[in-house]
Structure 1
């Protein structure tokens, strides 16, 4: 569609040069069974439908850590990742120790990935304090969930040495809980999470709260946590709202990405909040009011320009 590009070139002149050499933009998401991939597909669809002179191609990946590396090395222009992992990448911590990726920039906050601490209703565990000495699924090795677990235990004065950690995926953790082979499990995922929904249909479950005072301590200590609530009825047998914290899934790019292009992408996403919401349930969280919620790294200049223009920055 050279004619459309021709018209646009007038407005943006040299800024589109980078884009026009290759009209394909790679968008790194996650596994096909998770949320990142279909939500990325919904975002890509509204941007592609806006006919901005480039086309977004959604790629399935291993998630946050891989996505950070893809964006940093310009193998992908857009990616979804957890804001805590983005912070670690920026500061050369955890999975990025000794190899900080300082060129990643944030575009927008997408939706909360809720920290869910699950136990059997009959376990006698009512608080994080009760987890001392217990067998606990803490997430897969190298995952963000393991760090979330450490940091949450820490504000309760518990270290990883005080528990018996089991490293496993969410679905493995729920199987272990079902068969009473562990006492509790930490999951970091948009709620409701299908693995937990299935578990709640086979055993009575309880979600352990992170009290507001402890949540405040966490958010003060680590810039990527936000307060969150698991709503009554989110799972079978969960009858009351449960206070907890969440990290945020955020949209990121490389700081070298063209400013005009990122401005247009940001604007198109927020101009189409209702469409994204219809295409994916997590789209309901994508709104201007919360666009900057839990942003843990620098904003891309193109995104910042949009937020300045609409008066939220």
Structure 2
């Protein structure tokens, strides 16, 4: 038998593996993550605000990578959290101020994960000149704006009073002296003398901050316990606003000011495709690469401070940068390769033992083509041992002759020929044995007739 014939026999003996591989591939593809979408949506903040401006820059940068970012302007962090935790969210990403997620229910918190801290948004406390406010306790009995309820300012101020064990003061609004006012209304009331102090959470380059600092009737409060609060509240950083940082020529501020600062954070819900995380964070890194007055170049995006647990992909990015393949291939190609590498690993793990079984199965099939004939020889053996062979001896001899003829047409590889020829010998042996028994019986019958 030539090599081609042996190959054909091997293939036929292992055709069972073809449908099995088909089912395996279907199962793996069925449970493999779908390809990343090329369109995602993000909630930012009010148009013209810092969050929305960052969103616009991020959108432009992601467009270079072929990802469309749809921006949704909102009223701020709490609106963003509500959109992200909806039962059927229409957005995947959002910008929120650190400290605001503490206002969510536990069930809603489980729907969110952190991606990165983006930049500082200091908590500014302005006072009327001469009030000498240095600690939060100095605000007792004074007229203070603490931010509108549900706002980022309200959330941070509430956390500060909770940290000092005085949450009831904010809840009761200090007997009516404290007011829940949005930023515009608070700054206007403060300038008019209707307030003694007001809290704001805004970036350092915000026009409202510049206006308040320029007002000779107002002073920026330096909190002497800023470090202590930052140590207790992990979503806040301690910052020192150095003398002259905001305006060197005008020497603003006139001395170092101790501030507490939440950060703008990028968060996601469970509808964001994991593969897009590194793409979004790398785009954010380029947008923020130059830094600002408070944030040195390259400091953000960062893993801290964050309230929410980082996704696995975000944690990897902050520790090691973009995944290996994305350093050398365009994102979409790297994503495809990465997905199919993940598919290939279990495929190989399953296929290796299957392929190894092909040889033994082929060997068993070839031997089976020979050994199945031994069943007829065993039947003859049983008849002999049971003493029933004489009644069937002619039929069995004829049956074995047919088997012998059939064996001449059996086709097996040369490596299994010795088993076929052994069967030939055994069949011949059994025929000879039966013929001897038949002759002996005939001679015995003749002797009985002569007597």
TM-score bucket of the superposed structures, by smaller chain: 0.7 to 0.9
- Report the CA distance between 1:290 and its aligned residue: 5.6
Asked if 1:77 is matched to 2:92, the reply is yes
Instruction: Please name the residue that 1:182 is paired with.
Output: 195
- 1:224 maps to which of 217, 221, 235: 235
- Report the CA distance between 1:202 and its aligned residue: 3.8
Instruction: Please name the residue that 2:184 is paired with.
Output: 171
Inter-CA distance 290–266: structure 2 relative to 1 (3 Å threshold): closer
Asked if 1:17 is matched to 2:17, the reply is no
- Report the CA distance between 1:154 and its aligned residue: 4.9
Aligned CA-pair RMSD: 2.9
Please give the secondary structure, in 1, of the residue aligned with 2:262: strand
Unaligned runs of 5+ in 2: 1-30, 323-451
- 1:146 maps to which of 150, 154, 172: 154
Inter-CA distance 199–215: structure 2 relative to 1 (3 Å threshold): closer
Please give the secondary structure, in 2, of the residue aligned with 1:17: coil
Matches within 5 A, 1:1-313: 15-19=33-37, 23-51=38-66, 54-73=67-86, 74-86=89-101, 88=102, 94=103, 96-97=104-105, 100-155=108-163, 159-160=169-170, 161=172, 162=174, 164-211=177-224, 214-233=225-244, 234=246, 238-270=253-285, 272=286, 275-277=287-289, 287=298, 291-310=302-321
- Report the CA distance between 1:108 and its aligned residue: 1.1
- Report the CA distance between 1:140 and its aligned residue: 0.9
Inter-CA distance 135–69: structure 2 relative to 1 (3 Å threshold): same
Question: Within 2, Cα distance between the matches of 1:217 and 1:126?
Answer: 14
Inter-CA distance 61–282: structure 2 relative to 1 (3 Å threshold): farther
Please give the secondary structure, in 1, of the residue aligned with 2:235: coil
Please give the secondary structure, in 2, of the residue aligned with 1:259: coil
More helix by share: 2
- Report the CA distance between 1:113 and its aligned residue: 1.3
Per-residue CA deviation, residues 230-279 of structure 1 (Å, 9 max, x unaligned), is: 34343775211211211111111123422211122223333x2xx5457x
Unaligned runs of 5+ in 1: 1-12, 89-93
- Report the CA distance between 1:97 and its aligned residue: 4.0
Which has the higher relative contact order, 1 or 2, with Cα contacts under 8 A spaced 6 or more apart? 1
| Higher alpha-carbon deviation: 239-248 or 65-74 | 65-74
Please give the secondary structure, in 1, of the residue aligned with 2:208: helix
Does the Cα contact within 8 Å between 1:114 and 1:247 map onto a contact in 2?
A: yes
Does the Cα contact within 8 Å between 2:223 and 2:258 map onto a contact in 1?
A: yes
- Report the CA distance between 1:14 and its aligned residue: 5.1
- Report the CA distance between 1:173 and its aligned residue: 0.9
Does the Cα contact within 8 Å between 2:204 and 2:293 map onto a contact in 1?
A: no
TM-score by length of 2: 0.56
User: How many residues were matched structurally?
Assistant: 281
Question: Within 1, Cα distance between the matches of 2:155 and 2:295?
Answer: 27
Please give the secondary structure, in 1, of the residue aligned with 2:198: strand
More strand by share: 1
- Report the CA distance between 1:301 and its aligned residue: 2.1
Question: Within 2, Cα distance between the matches of 1:152 and 1:232?
Answer: 25
Inter-CA distance 288–100: structure 2 relative to 1 (3 Å threshold): same
- Report the CA distance between 1:282 and its aligned residue: 8.4
Instruction: Please name the residue that 1:5 is paired with.
Output: none
| Higher alpha-carbon deviation: 60-69 or 232-241 | 232-241
Please give the secondary structure, in 2, of the residue aligned with 1:145: helix
Please give the secondary structure, in 2, of the residue aligned with 1:253: strand
Per-residue CA deviation, residues 189-240 of structure 1 (Å, 9 max, x unaligned), is: 21243223223334332111222xx334323433211112234343775211
- Report the CA distance between 1:125 and its aligned residue: 3.3
- Report the CA distance between 1:109 and its aligned residue: 0.8
Inter-CA distance 285–189: structure 2 relative to 1 (3 Å threshold): farther
Instruction: Please name the residue that 2:424 is paired with.
Output: none
